[in-house]
Structure 1
């Protein structure tokens, strides 16, 4: 037991001694590391002090250089400003000298002006005295003249004014007439040349169409077949074509009535095929009408393509070509729409080339300007706006669109081609014989023309001749002189321009003649 206890105590003592020795070893190592760290820190501090001293020296050198540079710049600026001040002082001295010289000149001129004023005042006094003497003399002469003429000065002045007024009016009217004629000749000479050249170089035929087509037959026996039993054939034909078939006592003819020329043409061709075939019954009528309608649609496209080729227009959309073909079956005031559009296109190209503009674009606009009239739907806007929107859908040139929309002034003109299309449209429509005019409105216009001339003083009779293109006025030779006749023709023409609407121009001819009548008994 004692041995065991001794061993245990010896083991514990060995462990304690080992622990103490290890702690002493660690302490010596720590002291050595601390000493090395202190040496290293002191070395770093010395190096930092050396670097700081170097940096301080560098900064001081830089600051000194900057100071010297700024000092030199400041001295230069001071010297420059001193020079400017010296220059300004010299300039001020020169200006003072100049001003002093000018002041001396002004004083001399002022003295001269004062002398002139004195002289003028003296002359004005002399003139005032002379004026008073002249007024007295004039009053004496006026009194003498009034006594001699038995007229006061005011009465004589009024008579003189009336005489001068009549002479001035006569001379003024003659002068105005000469000036206007000269202006018309000089200002419109070139325009007339272009328009006349355009009209002469364009030749087209005009076909007068209306709402009735005539279908000729070989004998009246065919009329019964067309009517059919209890009229079923004619009712089927009218229902299929949308026109009215009139079968009356007209020999060897059947009348096809309808406002749509395309429908009338379909009805006419269908009747022609039915009569040739001989089989006329409702089913056959419907079949023939359908075939004819397809043929007409193809013919419309062919007409449009042929028109475009004839005019040399390229790149037109197929829908626009189709609308051009439909113009063949439309009329405007009795003038075939396709012929009218072709004529306008040719005249636009001619006029544009004369003016140095794009002739191809002008021809394109002239052909398409009335395309809104063949719009298949019920129009809610003017045909010019409809045609412009339709052409815009197919990406036509902006100048062409503006010409279509502005040819009746519905929109503002923004292209030089637009007034050309408008002018050519008016030329084509206003040409004598191009369009039909309603008889009542025509007669009414002629009566208004004659009544307008009869309202002037001195007019005895007047006659509208040449289909309203000329107005001949007979005047009283006793009340109207030769000079007043010229003034009267001018006044009547101005009144017509102001109060009436008419195509083309109206020539006003005033005729004055003196007739002396005596009788031998």
Structure 2
């Protein structure tokens, strides 16, 4: 409508401007005797224009009205369809609601029936139990005990069968791989050394030399023992002098110095001090070179100078008769090989094996593990290596597989046949402990520790233990040995149960 009005006003303004311009033209330039346009003609043109505009406006209005009516009809039709659809959905919902209500009632009725049946079954069971108790002459608790005992026996058998199956599976799947890995590791850890029983002795050409070693009023031997810290024994074996000291390095210095003094022939306090000082410097050089050689042999470089010198002292140190530098070398090689096979950190295992017994060379109070950890911390050795050293005797729980590998390599090197010897009293005590653990178990008739304590044979009374209980007994003895006994290598527990029947024909 606004566009229509604008059109009408535009037409009217145009006609008005046309009339004004004609008047102005007449004023400025008077025409000679022109005939003026009658006013009735202009009015007629305006009326015609207005009529045409109104007619156009009416046509446009009619079109708009028809369009609006068509839209109204369309909307009315859509609303009717939507209303019909909603009514159908409402009817469907009402139908479903009625169906659900019907199902609910049915379920409630079924539940009531079930509850009634349960109550009936409970009463029947109660009556049956009362009848069973009267017939069997057993109370409910007694019957429960008998049932539990039967189930326990059945479970014992099942547990024993599962243990046997698990053991067979483990043996089949990993024994070959473990043997191959350990053999390969021990092959790579093999050294040119064997276990040693070190005794420091010095050969002398004749017994007169002993007199010169003693000196006038014993001044030479007193000076030698004071300077070296070693005791001299010349009474046991002719043709040799024995040197004794808990420190193997001091003992070696004394041996070298004494040999040189005997060769020189001039044995006197001044010469003794001179030769001991020189031997000490020479041994320190040898110790450092041995430490460096050990580190290079296992591929360990950039080790602090002081630690190399301490490691070199392993050359003159033994543990249960096994030379420490030999033990460290073969353990490190085996540990590195095992770590490589198991994808562990080889560098951590290398340093852990190399430093695991370094505390044995520290002359302070405390265990060799505590002293070793303290020393390594002083030189800022990586914490992973320090943890390995602290855990290689299970004083602490294993925190990594590298710790377990070092523990295994140490055990292999120390427990192999011929590697070490041990105190007789401790050996007897371990055998008695093994037999005592076995004899403390119910059903055991006899127990024998054999093969130097590497196996325990247990004989059970067949009247007091079944075959299944024998399997459980072996596991129980094994676990207690692990917990209470310290032993090299492994201990095999063999439980024997047999019944013998004999008859004599007369």
Fold shared per TM-score above 0.5? yes
From 373, 395, 406, the equivalent of 1:385 is 373
Q: Alpha carbons of 1:507 and 1:155: their partners in 2 closer, same or farther (altered >3 Å)?
A: same
The match for 1:462 is 447
Alignment-derived partner of residue 255 in structure 2:
268
2:313 alignment partner in structure 1 = 326
The higher relative CO (CA closer than 8 Å, separation ≥ 6) is in 2
Deviation, structure 1 residue 414:
7.7
Q: Please, which moves more after superposition, 160-169 or 252-261?
A: 160-169
Partner residue, 1:442: 427
For the residue of structure 2 that corresponds to 1:461, the secondary structure is strand
Residue number among 478, 481, 486 corresponding to 1:493 in the alignment: 478
The residue number in structure 1 matching 2:459 is 474
* Contact in 2 for aligned 1:387/1:405 (Cα 8 Å): no
Query: Which of residues 228, 231, 237 is equivalent to 1:244?
Result: 231
Deviation, structure 1 residue 446: 1.5
Determine if contact 2:200/2:251 at 8 Å carries over to the other structure: yes
Query: CA shift at 1:432, angstroms?
Result: 4.6
**Partner residue of 1:285 out of 272, 282, 285:** 272
TM-score (norm 2): 0.71
C-alpha distance in 1 between matches for 2:302 and 2:310: 15
**Aligned mates of 1:439, 1:104 — CA distance in 2:** 101
User: Cα RMSD between the aligned structures?
Assistant: 3.7
- Which residue is 1:304 aligned to? 291
Q: Is the 8 A contact 2:457 2:496 kept in 1?
A: yes
Aligned-pair CA distance for 1:354? 1.7
Q: How does 1:86-485 map to 2 (within 5 A)?
A: 110-131=97-118, 134=121, 149=136, 151=138, 155-179=142-166, 182=169, 193-204=180-191, 205-209=193-197, 212-357=199-344, 359=346, 362-375=349-362, 378=364, 382-392=370-380, 399-400=384-385, 403-404=388-389, 407=392, 417-485=402-470
Q: Write the distance in 1 (CA, Å) between the matches of 2:450 and 2:334.
A: 29
Could you report, residue by residue, the CA deviation over 1:469-499 in whole angstroms, capped at 9, with x for unpaired residues?
A: 1110111122222222222222222332343
- CA shift, 1:124, in A, is 3.4
SS in structure 2 of the partner of residue 255 of structure 1: strand
Contact 2:470 2:495 in 1 (8 A): yes
- Report the TM-score when normalising by structure 1: 0.69
Structure 1 residue aligned with 2:60 = none
Tell me, yes or no, if the aligned pair for 1:465 and 1:472 is still in contact at 8 Å. yes
Mark the CA change 1:491 to 1:423 in structure 2 (over 3 Å): closer, same or farther: closer
Q: Any conservation in 2 of the 1:341–1:367 contact (CA below 8 Å)? A: yes
CA displacement at 1:308 relative to structure 2: 3.3
Most deviating of 378-387 and 294-303: 378-387
The alpha carbon displacement at 1:192 in A equals 6.2
Structure 1 position 257, deviation (Å): 0.9
Asked whether the 8 Å contact 1:370–1:387 carries over to 2, the reply is no
C-alpha displacement of 1:248: 0.9
How many residues align structurally? 419
Output aligned runs, 1:16-27, within 5 Å.
none
Checking the alignment, whether the CA contact within 8 Å between 2:182 and 2:338 is kept in structure 1 is yes
Contact 2:225 2:231 in 1 (8 A): yes
Q: Give how far 1:265 is off.
A: 1.0
Equivalents in 2 of 1:100, 1:332: separation in Å? 100
Quote the Cα distance in structure 2 between the aligned partners of 1:191 and 1:217.
Answer: 52
Secondary structure, aligned partner of 1:473:
strand
SS of alignment partner, residue 460 of structure 1: strand
SS at match of 2:221: helix
Q: Distance in 2 between matches of 1:191 and 1:474?
A: 30
- 1:198-243 CA distances to partner (integer Å, 9 max, x unpaired)? 2343113343346x52223343333222222221221121122110
Distance in 1 (alpha carbons) for counterparts of 2:174 and 2:94: 59
Taking the aligned partners of 2:263 and 2:275, their CA distance within structure 1 comes to 12
For residues 386 and 280 of structure 2, the distance between their equivalents in structure 1, rounded to whole angstroms, comes to 31
Q: Match of 2:196, SS?
A: coil
Separation in structure 1 between the aligned mates of residue 195 and residue 479 of structure 2, nearest angstrom? 36
Mind listing any 5+ residue stretches in structure 2 that lack a counterpart? 1-84
Structure 1 runs (4+) greater than 6 angstroms displaced: 98-107, 409-416
Of 338-347 and 316-325, the range deviating more from structure 2 = 316-325
Q: Structure 1 residues 230, 449: closer, same or farther in 2, change over 3 A?
A: same
Q: Deviations over 1:283-332 (max 9, x none)?
A: 22222222222221222223223333433443344333322222211233
